[in-house]
Amino acid sequence: VSLGDLRHVRALARSLDGFARLHLLRTGVELGLFEALRTPRGEEELADRLGLARDLVSAWLNAARTLGLVRRSERGFSTGDLARWLLDADQAEALHALLAQAIETYGPRLRELPVLMKGGERPRFGSPEEAMRTAAVSRAVEPRALAALARIPGVREARRVLDVGCGHGTYLAGLLARYRDAHGVGIELDAAVADEARRRLREAEVFRRGEIRVGDVMTLDLSSGTFDLALLNNNVYYFAPDQRGPLLRRVRSVLVPRGVVAIQTPVLEMGLVSRALGVASGTALFDLVLRAHGNLHGLPDPASLHAALRGAGFAETGEVPIVPGGTQRYVWGRVGGS
Protein backbone atom coordinates (compact mmCIF):
# COMPACT_ATOMS: atom_id res chain seq x y z
CA VAL A 1 0.00 0.00 0.00
CA SER A 2 1.45 3.36 -1.03
CA LEU A 3 1.68 6.41 1.18
CA GLY A 4 -0.75 8.16 -1.18
CA ASP A 5 -3.32 5.38 -0.66
CA LEU A 6 -2.98 5.70 3.10
CA ARG A 7 -3.53 9.43 2.91
CA HIS A 8 -6.71 8.93 0.91
CA VAL A 9 -7.97 6.11 3.14
CA ARG A 10 -7.52 8.47 6.07
CA ALA A 11 -9.35 11.30 4.26
CA LEU A 12 -12.22 8.95 3.35
CA ALA A 13 -12.42 7.66 6.93
CA ARG A 14 -12.63 11.28 8.11
CA SER A 15 -15.52 11.92 5.72
CA LEU A 16 -17.40 8.99 7.19
CA ASP A 17 -16.54 10.26 10.68
CA GLY A 18 -18.19 13.60 9.85
CA PHE A 19 -21.39 11.81 8.86
CA ALA A 20 -21.30 9.58 11.97
CA ARG A 21 -20.46 12.45 14.30
CA LEU A 22 -23.55 14.39 13.17
CA HIS A 23 -25.90 11.48 13.86
CA LEU A 24 -24.26 10.51 17.14
CA LEU A 25 -24.37 14.10 18.40
CA ARG A 26 -28.02 14.48 17.46
CA THR A 27 -28.94 11.19 19.14
CA GLY A 28 -26.97 12.12 22.25
CA VAL A 29 -28.69 15.49 22.53
CA GLU A 30 -32.20 14.31 21.64
CA LEU A 31 -32.28 11.30 23.96
CA GLY A 32 -30.63 13.10 26.87
CA LEU A 33 -27.58 10.80 26.78
CA PHE A 34 -25.14 13.72 27.05
CA GLU A 35 -27.23 15.30 29.79
CA ALA A 36 -27.22 12.07 31.81
CA LEU A 37 -23.48 11.70 31.26
CA ARG A 38 -22.71 14.98 33.02
CA THR A 39 -22.27 12.48 35.86
CA PRO A 40 -20.01 9.54 34.90
CA ARG A 41 -22.03 6.33 34.50
CA GLY A 42 -21.68 2.75 33.36
CA GLU A 43 -23.36 1.70 30.12
CA GLU A 44 -26.14 -0.41 31.62
CA GLU A 45 -26.91 2.20 34.25
CA LEU A 46 -27.21 4.82 31.46
CA ALA A 47 -29.47 2.65 29.28
CA ASP A 48 -31.76 1.71 32.20
CA ARG A 49 -31.96 5.27 33.49
CA LEU A 50 -33.21 6.52 30.08
CA GLY A 51 -35.22 3.37 29.25
CA LEU A 52 -33.17 2.66 26.11
CA ALA A 53 -31.98 -0.54 24.41
CA ARG A 54 -28.86 -1.66 26.30
CA ASP A 55 -26.98 -3.06 23.29
CA LEU A 56 -27.51 0.08 21.19
CA VAL A 57 -26.54 2.39 24.04
CA SER A 58 -23.39 0.34 24.53
CA ALA A 59 -22.53 0.54 20.80
CA TRP A 60 -23.39 4.28 20.70
CA LEU A 61 -21.04 4.87 23.64
CA ASN A 62 -18.30 2.96 21.93
CA ALA A 63 -18.70 4.87 18.64
CA ALA A 64 -19.09 8.22 20.43
CA ARG A 65 -15.92 7.53 22.41
CA THR A 66 -13.86 6.73 19.30
CA LEU A 67 -15.02 10.09 17.86
CA GLY A 68 -14.15 11.97 21.06
CA LEU A 69 -17.77 12.83 21.91
CA VAL A 70 -17.73 11.00 25.24
CA ARG A 71 -14.85 10.16 27.56
CA ARG A 72 -14.19 7.01 29.53
CA SER A 73 -12.56 6.79 32.95
CA GLU A 74 -12.63 4.23 35.76
CA ARG A 75 -15.84 5.94 37.04
CA GLY A 76 -17.60 5.29 33.72
CA PHE A 77 -18.48 7.29 30.60
CA SER A 78 -18.92 11.08 30.66
CA THR A 79 -19.80 13.87 28.23
CA GLY A 80 -16.93 15.25 26.11
CA ASP A 81 -16.15 18.96 25.68
CA LEU A 82 -17.99 19.54 22.39
CA ALA A 83 -21.19 17.85 23.60
CA ARG A 84 -21.01 19.74 26.91
CA TRP A 85 -20.72 23.02 24.99
CA LEU A 86 -23.73 22.01 22.87
CA LEU A 87 -25.73 21.61 26.09
CA ASP A 88 -24.55 24.81 27.77
CA ALA A 89 -24.07 27.32 24.90
CA ASP A 90 -26.24 30.48 24.97
CA GLN A 91 -27.91 29.38 21.74
CA ALA A 92 -28.12 25.69 22.71
CA GLU A 93 -31.68 25.22 21.47
CA ALA A 94 -30.85 26.66 18.04
CA LEU A 95 -27.72 24.50 17.81
CA HIS A 96 -29.79 21.39 18.54
CA ALA A 97 -32.24 22.48 15.85
CA LEU A 98 -29.31 22.84 13.45
CA LEU A 99 -28.35 19.20 14.04
CA ALA A 100 -31.95 18.12 13.43
CA GLN A 101 -32.19 20.30 10.32
CA ALA A 102 -28.99 18.86 8.85
CA ILE A 103 -30.34 15.34 9.29
CA GLU A 104 -34.05 15.81 8.57
CA THR A 105 -34.01 18.54 5.89
CA TYR A 106 -30.58 18.39 4.29
CA GLY A 107 -30.29 14.59 4.58
CA PRO A 108 -33.12 13.56 2.24
CA ARG A 109 -32.19 16.18 -0.39
CA LEU A 110 -28.54 15.16 -0.40
CA ARG A 111 -29.52 11.50 -0.64
CA GLU A 112 -31.71 12.30 -3.66
CA LEU A 113 -29.04 14.41 -5.35
CA PRO A 114 -28.13 11.89 -8.08
CA VAL A 115 -31.82 11.60 -9.06
CA LEU A 116 -32.39 15.37 -8.89
CA MET A 117 -29.29 16.10 -10.95
CA LYS A 118 -30.60 13.78 -13.65
CA GLY A 119 -33.74 15.92 -13.83
CA GLY A 120 -35.92 14.34 -11.13
CA GLU A 121 -38.76 16.47 -9.79
CA ARG A 122 -37.55 18.69 -6.98
CA PRO A 123 -39.77 18.53 -3.86
CA ARG A 124 -41.28 21.71 -2.45
CA PHE A 125 -39.90 23.14 0.74
CA GLY A 126 -42.25 24.25 3.51
CA SER A 127 -43.83 21.38 5.48
CA PRO A 128 -44.79 22.46 9.02
CA GLU A 129 -41.83 20.47 10.40
CA GLU A 130 -39.40 22.09 7.96
CA ALA A 131 -40.73 25.56 8.80
CA MET A 132 -40.46 24.77 12.53
CA ARG A 133 -36.86 23.56 12.24
CA THR A 134 -35.86 26.55 10.09
CA ALA A 135 -37.43 28.98 12.56
CA ALA A 136 -35.62 27.25 15.44
CA VAL A 137 -32.26 27.48 13.63
CA SER A 138 -32.74 31.12 12.67
CA ARG A 139 -33.13 31.96 16.38
CA ALA A 140 -29.37 31.32 16.65
CA VAL A 141 -28.59 34.49 14.71
CA GLU A 142 -31.62 36.55 15.74
CA PRO A 143 -29.97 38.63 18.52
CA ARG A 144 -26.99 39.36 16.26
CA ALA A 145 -29.28 40.16 13.33
CA LEU A 146 -31.35 42.62 15.40
CA ALA A 147 -28.11 44.29 16.57
CA ALA A 148 -26.84 44.44 12.97
CA LEU A 149 -30.16 45.89 11.80
CA ALA A 150 -29.79 48.78 14.26
CA ARG A 151 -26.53 49.72 12.51
CA ILE A 152 -28.30 50.36 9.19
CA PRO A 153 -28.89 54.10 8.69
CA GLY A 154 -32.49 55.07 9.42
CA VAL A 155 -33.55 51.81 11.09
CA ARG A 156 -33.60 53.08 14.68
CA GLU A 157 -35.94 55.92 13.70
CA ALA A 158 -38.33 53.61 11.80
CA ARG A 159 -41.85 53.60 13.26
CA ARG A 160 -43.83 51.71 10.62
CA VAL A 161 -42.29 48.36 9.79
CA LEU A 162 -43.22 45.82 7.13
CA ASP A 163 -41.86 42.28 7.58
CA VAL A 164 -42.12 40.46 4.25
CA GLY A 165 -42.31 36.66 4.61
CA CYS A 166 -42.30 37.06 8.39
CA GLY A 167 -42.37 33.30 9.04
CA HIS A 168 -42.88 32.61 12.75
CA GLY A 169 -42.67 36.33 13.53
CA THR A 170 -39.43 36.21 15.52
CA TYR A 171 -38.01 39.33 13.90
CA LEU A 172 -41.17 41.40 13.97
CA ALA A 173 -41.71 40.52 17.64
CA GLY A 174 -38.04 41.25 18.45
CA LEU A 175 -38.18 44.60 16.68
CA LEU A 176 -41.46 45.72 18.27
CA ALA A 177 -40.14 44.71 21.70
CA ARG A 178 -36.97 46.75 21.09
CA TYR A 179 -38.67 49.85 19.62
CA ARG A 180 -41.70 50.49 21.83
CA ASP A 181 -43.31 53.16 19.62
CA ALA A 182 -42.98 51.15 16.39
CA HIS A 183 -45.93 49.45 14.64
CA GLY A 184 -45.54 46.48 12.34
CA VAL A 185 -47.25 44.46 9.64
CA GLY A 186 -46.02 40.95 8.87
CA ILE A 187 -46.91 39.31 5.56
CA GLU A 188 -46.82 35.54 5.33
CA LEU A 189 -47.76 33.28 2.42
CA ASP A 190 -48.53 30.25 4.58
CA ALA A 191 -51.65 30.58 6.80
CA ALA A 192 -50.47 28.04 9.41
CA VAL A 193 -47.11 29.81 9.70
CA ALA A 194 -48.94 33.14 10.02
CA ASP A 195 -50.85 31.71 13.03
CA GLU A 196 -47.50 30.92 14.66
CA ALA A 197 -46.41 34.53 14.04
CA ARG A 198 -49.57 35.85 15.76
CA ARG A 199 -48.86 33.54 18.69
CA ARG A 200 -45.29 34.89 18.87
CA LEU A 201 -46.51 38.52 18.91
CA ARG A 202 -48.90 37.68 21.77
CA GLU A 203 -46.14 35.86 23.65
CA ALA A 204 -43.85 38.90 23.28
CA GLU A 205 -46.76 41.15 24.39
CA VAL A 206 -46.49 43.35 21.30
CA PHE A 207 -49.63 42.17 19.47
CA ARG A 208 -51.38 45.54 19.94
CA ARG A 209 -48.73 47.09 17.69
CA GLY A 210 -48.43 44.20 15.25
CA GLU A 211 -50.66 42.71 12.58
CA ILE A 212 -50.04 39.55 10.56
CA ARG A 213 -51.58 39.28 7.11
CA VAL A 214 -51.75 36.13 4.99
CA GLY A 215 -50.87 36.50 1.32
CA ASP A 216 -48.26 37.00 -1.37
CA VAL A 217 -46.27 40.20 -1.02
CA MET A 218 -46.51 40.70 -4.79
CA THR A 219 -50.31 40.79 -4.86
CA LEU A 220 -51.52 41.67 -1.36
CA ASP A 221 -53.27 45.02 -1.09
CA LEU A 222 -50.79 47.43 0.54
CA SER A 223 -51.00 51.23 0.49
CA SER A 224 -48.07 52.84 -1.26
CA GLY A 225 -45.65 55.03 0.65
CA THR A 226 -46.58 53.90 4.17
CA PHE A 227 -43.59 52.10 5.69
CA ASP A 228 -40.28 53.46 7.03
CA LEU A 229 -38.63 50.04 7.02
CA ALA A 230 -39.22 46.81 5.10
CA LEU A 231 -37.55 43.58 6.19
CA LEU A 232 -36.80 40.66 3.92
CA ASN A 233 -35.30 38.14 6.31
CA ASN A 234 -34.10 34.83 4.89
CA ASN A 235 -36.48 34.67 1.99
CA VAL A 236 -34.86 36.36 -1.00
CA TYR A 237 -34.08 32.82 -2.23
CA TYR A 238 -37.83 32.14 -2.50
CA PHE A 239 -37.65 34.48 -5.50
CA ALA A 240 -35.83 33.48 -8.72
CA PRO A 241 -33.09 35.92 -9.76
CA ASP A 242 -35.36 37.48 -12.41
CA GLN A 243 -38.16 37.98 -9.82
CA ARG A 244 -35.91 39.87 -7.41
CA GLY A 245 -36.12 43.15 -9.38
CA PRO A 246 -39.96 43.16 -9.39
CA LEU A 247 -39.95 42.20 -5.67
CA LEU A 248 -37.68 45.12 -4.78
CA ARG A 249 -39.70 47.55 -6.92
CA ARG A 250 -42.83 46.37 -5.14
CA VAL A 251 -41.18 46.87 -1.73
CA ARG A 252 -39.87 50.28 -2.77
CA SER A 253 -43.39 51.36 -3.73
CA VAL A 254 -44.66 50.85 -0.16
CA LEU A 255 -41.75 52.74 1.46
CA VAL A 256 -41.77 56.44 2.34
CA PRO A 257 -39.04 58.79 0.99
CA ARG A 258 -35.79 57.86 2.85
CA GLY A 259 -37.40 54.51 3.74
CA VAL A 260 -35.11 51.48 4.06
CA VAL A 261 -35.30 47.88 2.88
CA ALA A 262 -33.07 45.41 4.75
CA ILE A 263 -32.42 42.05 3.12
CA GLN A 264 -31.02 39.40 5.44
CA THR A 265 -29.39 36.53 3.64
CA PRO A 266 -26.52 34.07 3.79
CA VAL A 267 -24.12 34.71 0.91
CA LEU A 268 -21.62 32.52 -0.86
CA GLU A 269 -18.59 34.13 0.68
CA MET A 270 -15.26 32.38 0.44
CA GLY A 271 -13.25 35.03 2.30
CA LEU A 272 -10.42 34.24 4.69
CA VAL A 273 -12.41 34.66 7.92
CA SER A 274 -15.25 32.38 6.81
CA ARG A 275 -12.75 29.77 5.66
CA ALA A 276 -10.86 29.98 8.95
CA LEU A 277 -14.12 29.55 10.88
CA GLY A 278 -15.05 26.65 8.60
CA VAL A 279 -18.43 28.20 7.69
CA ALA A 280 -17.81 28.82 3.97
CA SER A 281 -18.47 25.16 3.15
CA GLY A 282 -21.69 25.28 5.22
CA THR A 283 -23.02 28.17 3.14
CA ALA A 284 -22.13 26.40 -0.11
CA LEU A 285 -23.99 23.30 1.12
CA PHE A 286 -26.98 25.45 2.08
CA ASP A 287 -27.04 26.90 -1.46
CA LEU A 288 -27.03 23.37 -2.91
CA VAL A 289 -29.85 22.21 -0.62
CA LEU A 290 -31.95 25.30 -1.45
CA ARG A 291 -31.60 24.61 -5.17
CA ALA A 292 -32.66 20.98 -4.63
CA HIS A 293 -36.19 22.26 -3.82
CA GLY A 294 -38.76 23.07 -6.50
CA ASN A 295 -39.86 26.36 -4.91
CA LEU A 296 -36.45 27.69 -3.81
CA HIS A 297 -33.51 29.23 -5.63
CA GLY A 298 -29.83 29.67 -4.86
CA LEU A 299 -28.23 32.21 -2.56
CA PRO A 300 -27.74 35.66 -4.07
CA ASP A 301 -24.33 37.21 -4.50
CA PRO A 302 -24.21 40.61 -2.80
CA ALA A 303 -23.16 42.49 -5.97
CA SER A 304 -26.31 41.33 -7.78
CA LEU A 305 -28.46 42.47 -4.82
CA HIS A 306 -26.89 45.94 -4.91
CA ALA A 307 -27.52 46.09 -8.66
CA ALA A 308 -31.14 44.92 -8.19
CA LEU A 309 -31.66 47.55 -5.46
CA ARG A 310 -30.29 50.33 -7.69
CA GLY A 311 -32.36 49.02 -10.59
CA ALA A 312 -35.47 49.15 -8.40
CA GLY A 313 -34.82 52.83 -7.68
CA PHE A 314 -33.06 52.75 -4.29
CA ALA A 315 -30.73 55.76 -4.16
CA GLU A 316 -28.25 54.36 -1.66
CA THR A 317 -27.19 50.79 -0.80
CA GLY A 318 -24.90 49.20 1.77
CA GLU A 319 -24.12 46.11 3.83
CA VAL A 320 -23.81 45.15 7.48
CA PRO A 321 -22.32 41.78 8.54
CA ILE A 322 -24.35 39.71 11.03
CA VAL A 323 -21.77 37.00 11.75
CA PRO A 324 -17.95 37.29 11.69
CA GLY A 325 -16.80 36.90 8.10
CA GLY A 326 -20.18 38.12 6.85
CA THR A 327 -21.55 34.81 5.50
CA GLN A 328 -24.85 36.04 6.99
CA ARG A 329 -25.43 39.75 6.35
CA TYR A 330 -27.88 42.53 5.70
CA VAL A 331 -27.76 44.15 2.28
CA TRP A 332 -29.80 47.33 2.49
CA GLY A 333 -31.19 50.00 0.20
CA ARG A 334 -32.52 53.45 1.00
CA VAL A 335 -35.06 55.42 -1.00
CA GLY A 336 -33.95 58.92 -1.98
CA GLY A 337 -35.80 62.13 -1.07
CA SER A 338 -35.86 64.48 1.85
Ligand X SMILES: C[S@@+](CC[C@H](N)C(=O)[O-])C[C@H]1O[C@@H](n2cnc3c(N)ncnc32)[C@H](O)[C@@H]1O
Interface segment toward ligand X; rule CB under 6 A; list 2-10, 22-30, 213-221, 279-287 = 213-221
- The answer to the question of residue 193 lying near ligand X (CB under 6 A) is yes
DSSP 190: -
In whole angstroms, how close is the CB of 263 to ligand X at the nearest point?
11
135 binds ligand X (CB under 6 A): yes
Can you tell me the distance from the alpha carbon of 25 to that of 19, in angstroms, rounded to the nearest whole number?
Answer: 10
Residue nearer to ligand X on the CB measure, 61 or 236: 236
Q: Which is nearer to ligand X, 238 or 314 (CB)?
A: 238
Check if the beta carbon of residue 226 is closer than 8 Å to that of residue 254: yes
Residue 101 found at the interface with ligand X (CB under 6 A): no
Helix 241-253 and helix 302-311, axial crossing angle in degrees, nearest 10 = 50
- Asked if 325 touches ligand X (CB under 6 A), the answer is no
- Cα 75 to chain centroid distance, Å, stands at 39
Q: Which is nearer to ligand X, 167 or 302 (CB)?
A: 167
The one-character DSSP state at 41 is B
* DSSP secondary structure string for all residues of 148-187: HHTTSTTSTT--EEEEET-TTSHHHHHHHHHSTT-EEEEE
What is d(CA 238, CA 41) in angstroms, rounded to the nearest whole number? 48
Q: Within its chain, how far is the Cα of 192 from the centroid?
A: 19
Task: Tell me the residue length of the chain.
Answer: 338
Q: Using CB under 6 A, which of 72, 134, 144, 146 touches ligand X?
A: 134
Which one, 171 or 227, has the nearer CB to ligand X?
A: 171
300 binds ligand X (CB under 6 A): no
Q: Which uninterrupted H or E stretch holds 208? A: none
SS3 48: helix
Residue nearest to ligand X (CB): 167
List the x/- string, 145-174, binding to ligand X by CB under 6 A: --------------------xxx--xx---
Binding-site size, ligand X (CB under 6 A): 20
Name the residue nearer to ligand X (CB basis): 137 or 309: 137
Min dist. Cβ of residue 272 to ligand X (A): 27
Residues that bind ligand X (CB under 6 A): 134-135, 138, 165-167, 170-171, 187-190, 193, 216-218, 233-235, 238
